[in-house]
Amino acid sequence: MKILPENRLRRLRINPTIRSLVRETSYNLSDLIYPMFVDENISKPREIASMPGVIAYPLNMIADESASVKDLGINAILLFGIPSHKDDHGSGAWSENGIVQKATRSIKEISDMTVIADLCLCEYTTHGHCGVLDNEIVDNDSTIDLYAKTAVSQAEAGADMVAPSGMMDDQVEKMREALDSSGYINTPIMAYSAKYASAFYGPFREAAESTPSFGDRRTHQMDPANLREAFREMEADLREGADILMVKPAMPYLDVIREARMRYDVPIAAYQVSGEYAMLVAAAQNGWLDRKKAVLESLTSIKRAGADMIITYFAKEVAEGLNDL
């Protein structure tokens, strides 16, 4: 059988130059956001066992470390704090001298790194849940008041953006009102809108010491089986004033990213989470995958699905190795 001339698709794959001319997707370092952990309980860097290469820093090192990430060409970090004091309502999250507030001030003092403050209570509560408990379930309405206080406190400390990850209803509206009435009308909210109750957060919970002491997060995070519901979440966040919508995790949810891209004109962020990192790193350590190729392919696929920006633990190594990609 004769192949029709227009079906010779291999013509455009014949050499690297032609392949790069027809390449549809690319990303820049300016699209990547690097998650960083600052831990009030340590005096030396602590490597996260289930995330080889990811390190939690003591307060007195976080600014220098963040400045060196900036020098590599990464312009934004997502900052997580691990406090020395926890209580049942997570007061460390909105304290003026909370770990994220102190770290943000020190980072902004020495560099122009953009600090996006993750906003949740699970690192700050003794029980590890994302808010105040009522009969062992997170109480929505009292929790979002605390999120609003936390947002203002993070903005006061110099955070450039806040990123609520608790999946409470109406959290964005409460935070927007609080930020506006405190004068932070220009502080954007990156909403973790479609955040699934995912097994892929396991390594993070070791890093952030935020594993719930009982139960799980399925009364607020989304069921992995649901797609349509993700758009109800996103629409609610848009109505409430979210500036950026996030899908999390990324690779197992590329369909959600894709459809969000088609439906909405606002920027879409995707979070390649700790378990996605751990899987790729573990396979590469065993010699089962080419680390660099697999990492770059994973980021390309998230971009191709429609993400404008990617939160990824690989950001730093991509920046370090960009010259020989």
Which residues contribute to the site for ligand PBG (CB under 6 A)?
A: 118, 120, 122, 130, 165, 201, 204-205, 210, 217, 273-274
Cβ(270)–Cβ(302) below 8 Å = yes
Closer residue to ligand PBG in complex, CB, 123/259: 123
Q: Is 205 labelled as part of a ligand binding site?
A: yes
* Shortest Cβ 276–ligand PBG spacing (Å): 8
The per-type count for the chain, helices as H runs and strands as E runs, is 11, 12
Q: Is 46 labelled as part of a ligand binding site?
A: no
Q: Is 75 helix (H, G, I), strand (E, B) or coil?
A: coil
Q: Is 283 helix (H, G, I), strand (E, B) or coil?
A: helix
Closer residue to ligand PBG in complex, CB, 101/210: 210
Cβ(147)–Cβ(125) below 8 Å = no
Q: Is 303 helix (H, G, I), strand (E, B) or coil?
A: helix
Q: In which element (H, E) is residue 275 found?
A: helix 274-285
Q: What residue is closest to ligand PBG based on CB?
A: 204
Per-position DSSP letters for 208-230, written without gaps between them: HT---SSS-STTTSBPTT-SHHH
Q: Is 196 labelled as part of a ligand binding site?
A: no
Closer residue to ligand PBG in complex, CB, 130/244: 130
Q: Is 228 labelled as part of a ligand binding site?
A: no
Closer residue to ligand PBG in complex, CB, 35/188: 35
Q: For this structure, is 195 an active site residue?
A: yes
Cβ(84)–Cβ(39) below 8 Å = no
Q: Which of 248, 293, 303, 316 is catalytic?
A: 248
* Shortest Cβ 128–ligand PBG spacing (Å): 9
- Catalytic residue positions? 195, 248
Going by the annotation, the residues of the binding site for 5-aminolevulinate are 205, 217, 274, 313
Going by the annotation, the residues of the binding site are 120, 122, 130, 205, 217, 233, 274, 313
